[in-house]
C-alpha cells in the first residue's frame, strides 16, 4: 500500500458518462478517492449516498470526490443516476489502479478466497501527495470523518 507523503499514483480511467478522468486534472485541489467493491450493493450504496449527502460540504472545503470500483462504466452510469450521485464514479476494470493504491487484495467470504477491492479512502493534497489514508473502511460515519479531515 502507498503511504502518507508519497505522490499519489496517477491514473486515467473511464467514468459513467463516456469520458476519461485523469487524476492530474485535479492538481490544485484536494481529491477524495474512495475505492469500493461493487455498485448497488448495500454497503457501497450507503457509502456513495453518504458522500452524496455531504458533497456540498466536501466541495466547499475545496475537495472533489471520485469513487473507483471494477464495475464497467455503464454500471456506474445506472448507479449514479439511480442515487443522484453528484460526483464521478470511475471504472477500474483491470484493477490496475486499485493495485497501484494497494487496495486490490486477497479476501475471503463463505470459505472462498478471491481477489477484490478492500474498501479504502485516500485524501490527496493539492500537490498530488497522499495526505491521509483510511484503510479497511467501515461505512457508518466514514464520509463525515473524511469531511472532518478536510476542515481546518
Residue of 23, 45, 4, 41 whose CA lies nearest to 90: 23
DSSP lists the bridge partners of residue 89 as: 67
SS3 25: helix
Q: Which of 44, 89, 117, 118 is catalytic?
A: 44
Answer yes or no: 44 catalytic: yes
9 within 8 A of 98, measured Cβ to Cβ: no
Rg of the chain (C-alpha set): 14
Q: b or e along 28-64 (b: 16 or more beta carbons within 10 Å of the residue's beta carbon)? A: eebbbbbbbbebeeeebbebbebbbebbeebbebebb
Active site residues: 44
Amino acid at each position: 500500500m502507498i503511504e502518507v507523503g508519497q505522490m499519489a499514483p496517477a491514473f486515467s480511467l473511464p467514468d459513467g458518462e463516456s469520458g476519461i478522468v485523469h487524476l492530474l486534472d485535479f492538481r490544485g485541489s484536494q481529491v477524495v478517492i474512495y475505492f469500493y467493491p461493487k455498485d448497488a450493493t448495500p454497503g457501497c450504496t450507503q457509502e456513495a449516498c453518504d458522500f452524496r449527502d455531504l458533497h456540498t460540504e466536501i466541495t466547499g472545503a475545496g475537495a472533489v470526490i471520485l469513487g473507483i470500483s471494477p464495475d464497467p462504466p455503464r454500471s456506474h452510469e445506472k448507479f449514479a443516476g439511480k442515487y443522484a450521485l453528484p460526483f464521478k464514479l470511475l471504472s477500474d476494470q483491470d484493477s490496475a489502479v486499485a493495485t497501484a493504491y494497494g487496495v486490490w487484495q486477497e479476501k475471503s467470504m463463505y470459505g472462498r478466497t478471491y481477489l477484490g477491492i478492500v474498501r479504502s479512502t485516500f485524501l490527496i493534497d493539492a500537490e498530488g501527495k497522499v495526505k491521509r489514508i483510511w484503510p479497511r473502511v467501515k461505512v457508518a460515519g466514514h464520509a463525515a470523518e473524511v469531511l472532518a479531515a478536510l476542515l481546518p
